[in-house]
Chains A and B, each alone.
Chain A
Amino acid sequence: MRLSRRGLLRAGLAGTAATALGGLATGCAVPTGSTGRNMVLWYWSGGLSPKVVQNAKARYDDSMNLQAIQIGGYYRSKLMTTMTGRAHIPDIAGLKGEDMASYLPNSDQFVDLRTLGAARYRDKYLPWKWDQGIAPDGSMVGFPIDCGPVAHYYQPAVFEKAGLPHEPADVSAELDTWEKFFAAGEQLKKRLPGTFILTDALSVFGISVNQSTRRYVDEDRHFIGDQEHVRTAWDRAVEATRRGLVSKIVNGTPDNISATERGLLPSQLNASWAAGDIKLNTPRTKGKWRVAQCPGGPSNIGGSFLSITKACREPERAFELITWMLDAENQAQGFVDSVLFPSTPASYGMSELREPDAFFGGQITMDVFGPAARKIPVAFNSPYDIALGTPISDELRNFSVLGKDPDKAWKDAMSSCRRIADHVGVSY
């Protein structure tokens, strides 16, 4: 085989041509961006009901070409990249609840939904959830999708064997404070050795903080994580650990699944969507669970929003679309399809949501989640909450898992917070 320089050049060109062809072949299929008719919506798998998306497409087919795109991977970083790059920004973007604090200070990237008449819809949604979509400057960035009220999942057969209340109404009424919940944990442990009411200590801390109306940083960029509400939550988690109510089992391992199936972890404090996780991870416990109110009062974990970006050419149409997709009936559909707990109280009475759930022994779980969802305390979500909350929960874990002295752990957490606060420009 002889090869001249020209031959080699040809080989190289073939490669380049293949590249160019690849670009061309795919280039034709690229949409030219948001024209009047195209309406690009970004969300993530499980973020909206597939059926509602499909219906929306059909319903608005005359006025727009809705392209609902599921984004995989790390959603926020893709959205932020396109926004910063000012290219290929979707018209409508889903925003995850845990990311809201980082979007809200940049409300200039989004259309203020008040200008589109959002006020008309306000009384149809949970007030606290509505407020979470509003930026510090008063403009409305996010329109409510779902929320995640926290409840007490428990296995009644185990509770009964331990001499504890076991009917949902009784558990809700008799284990309504943390103190009573811990006492029940002690009884559970005494009567059934090896059984724990809590899998880990961090959930106690997290839920307790969420039950308060304040978090780690306030509106004036001042650190409040050293104050009473956080300290109480910390002490509560420490107390639970010290009284031996917390298992040493690592979440998500076979140990955890096996212990749950064998009734050694018969209780979980978790959000509404965790029902899906329980069903998936321990399908054999079907019928063995019930749901009761969370001790210490209602709180929330998770839940997301839809927003209209500044790149959208037809905000009115987009707004019409999202208000329809997120009305009470479609939110009920979202709960049925994807365990998205509605932020529209009118959904709670609908027949689809009042179906007895066989996994929970035929209980109508809405009786627990519905009332909880209405009474969730409103807290200011600062963009610095994650940076300044993390050291505290890290140190709590050092205490509960690695056995660090809790006073030392708290002190270390506070000194980390002081350092970080200084670095990010939060007053301490």
Chain B
Amino acid sequence: MASIKGSRKRGVALHLVLVVGLLISVFPFYWAVIMSTHASTEIFSYPPKLLPGSHFAENVRHLFDNVDFFGSMANSLLVAGTVTFLVLFFDSLAAFVFAKFRFPGRRFLFALMMAIFMVPAQLQAIPQFVIMAKLGWIGSMTALVVPAAANAFGIFWMRQYMRSAIHDELLDASKLDGAGFLRQYWHVALPVVRPGLAFLGIFTFMGQWNDYAWPLIALTDPHNVTLQVALSQLNGVHGTTDYGMVMTGALLALLPLLAVFAIGAKQIIGDLGKGAIR
């Protein structure tokens, strides 16, 4: 009896803490929703508006008048989807090698990759633009997809994840069964690291979806851009920005991300015991 009471108390305390965290996490998002339902002139008044307004439909109409929302969203889906697929494949394959095999140059190649990862990316726009222009890729989605197809972040993550998730006995056993390298990767490694892949997939998709600095430079045709580039065109100068519309665009652009998260996150939290060894 006492212990049940105790654990219930602990449960209530747990939820109390989590609810506080939830409120802190959600409030700015809630406020973004509020902004998207008001006219631009109502947004900055003080005290701030805390309840939704009635301007949402009009903001949406303005948004659709000003940008090709669905066209650019289709481009974003194409880019983010393709990149995510390629990254999951290339990164997990490379990570499997770094995590579970020894071969000459392993430490050097891994250190090199980490060093490349640490080079600040900000100065690279001009030469990258020149390369892409020579290849004739400027203006097309290829310029966004190909350079992003494998990255150090994902390889590092999957390597760390595989080190603890893939047990050597499994690999040894599969080897005794005569499995080659690719079979081991596909049948032994991948099924075990699904939560890790889910994380990588969600955040690769998200990073590509929200990326904006390079697409802005690489995409030259205004009728053929990604969503974030299209939305960036809405920011005006000095008092001409329609914040209600901008916020509506930002919110609508978020919906696919939330969907991807909802799907992918199921992999990340499973039940205890459904983990590595079965």
B270 near A: Cβ within 8 Å? no
Q: B residues 130-178 with Cβ under 8 Å of A?
A: 130, 133, 137-142, 145-146, 149
A87 near B: Cβ within 8 Å? yes
Chain B interface residue count, Cβ-Cβ cutoff 8 angstroms = 55
Contact between chains at A15 and B140 (CB < 8 Å): no
> 1/0 per residue A192-211: CB within 8 Å of B?
00000000000000000000
**Residues in A neighbouring B145, C-beta threshold 8 A:** 19, 22-23
B3 near A: Cβ within 8 Å? no
Q: Which of A70-78, A160-168, A406-414 contacts B (4 or more CB under 8 A)?
A: A70-78
Complex: how many Å from CA A246 to CA B76?
48
Q: Which of A122-130, A149-157, A270-278, A317-325 contacts B (4 or more CB under 8 A)?
A: A270-278
B53 near A: Cβ within 8 Å? no
Q: A residues 43-80 with Cβ under 8 Å of B?
A: 44-47, 67, 69-73, 77-78
* Minimum CB distance partner of B43 in chain A: A280
> Do A72 and B221 contact each other (CB < 8 Å), given the known contacts A45-B237, A82-B129?
no
Complex: how many Å from CA A29 to CA B141?
11
* Minimum CB distance partner of A20 in chain B: B142
Shortest 8 CB-CB distances between A and B: which pairs?
A276-B239, A72-B232, A23-B142, A46-B236, A87-B133, A46-B240, A30-B139, A45-B236
Complex: how many Å from CA A248 to CA B235?
29
B34 near A: Cβ within 8 Å? no
Complex: how many Å from CA A12 to CA B233?
36
* Minimum CB distance partner of A30 in chain B: B139
Contact between chains at A258 and B46 (CB < 8 Å): yes
Complex: how many Å from CA A405 to CA B86?
58
Contact between chains at A277 and B238 (CB < 8 Å): yes
**Residues in A neighbouring B222, C-beta threshold 8 A:** 67, 69-70
B212 near A: Cβ within 8 Å? yes
Chain B nearest CB, measured from A270 CB (Å): 10
Complex: how many Å from CA A47 to CA B236?
8
**Residues in B neighbouring A19, C-beta threshold 8 A:** 82, 86, 142, 145-146, 149
> 1/0 per residue A255-295: CB within 8 Å of B?
00110010000000000011111111111100000000000
A119 near B: Cβ within 8 Å? no
Among the listed A30, A77, A82, A261, which residue makes an inter-chain contact with B221, where contact means beta carbons less than 8 Å apart?
A30
- 9 A-B Cβ contacts within 8 A? A3-B182, A30-B221, A71-B216, A78-B216, A78-B217, A88-B220, A274-B239, A276-B240, A280-B44
Chain A nearest CB, measured from B114 CB (Å): 25
Q: Is the interface of A mostly helix, strand, loop or mixed?
A: helix
Q: B residues 224-256 with Cβ under 8 Å of A?
A: 224, 229, 231-241, 243
**Residues in B neighbouring A88, C-beta threshold 8 A:** 133, 138-139, 220
> 1/0 per residue B177-205: CB within 8 Å of A?
00010110011000000000000000000
Chain B nearest CB, measured from A335 CB (Å): 12
Chain A interface residue count, Cβ-Cβ cutoff 8 angstroms = 55
Write the residues of chain B forming the contact surface with A, with a CB cutoff of 8 angstroms.
40-42, 44-46, 48, 75, 78-79, 82, 85-86, 89, 125-126, 129-130, 133, 137-142, 145-146, 149, 180, 182-183, 186-187, 212-213, 216-217, 220-224, 229, 231-241, 243
A425 near B: Cβ within 8 Å? no
Complex: how many Å from CA A46 to CA B229?
17
Contact between chains at A72 and B40 (CB < 8 Å): no
Among the listed B41, B89, B187, B240, which residue makes an inter-chain contact with A3, where contact means beta carbons less than 8 Å apart?
B187
Complex: how many Å from CA A30 to CA B140?
7
Contact between chains at B45 and A283 (CB < 8 Å): yes
A254 near B: Cβ within 8 Å? yes
Chain A nearest CB, measured from B124 CB (Å): 11
Complex: how many Å from CA A281 to CA B248?
19
Chain A nearest CB, measured from B143 CB (Å): 9
Contact between chains at A45 and B223 (CB < 8 Å): no
**Residues in A neighbouring B86, C-beta threshold 8 A:** 15, 19
Among the listed B41, B85, B229, B232, which residue makes an inter-chain contact with A15, where contact means beta carbons less than 8 Å apart?
B85
Contact between chains at A254 and B46 (CB < 8 Å): yes
**Residues in B neighbouring A351, C-beta threshold 8 A:** none
A251 near B: Cβ within 8 Å? no
A5 near B: Cβ within 8 Å? yes
**Residues in B neighbouring A403, C-beta threshold 8 A:** none
Among the listed A20, A72, A339, which residue makes an inter-chain contact with B229, where contact means beta carbons less than 8 Å apart?
A72
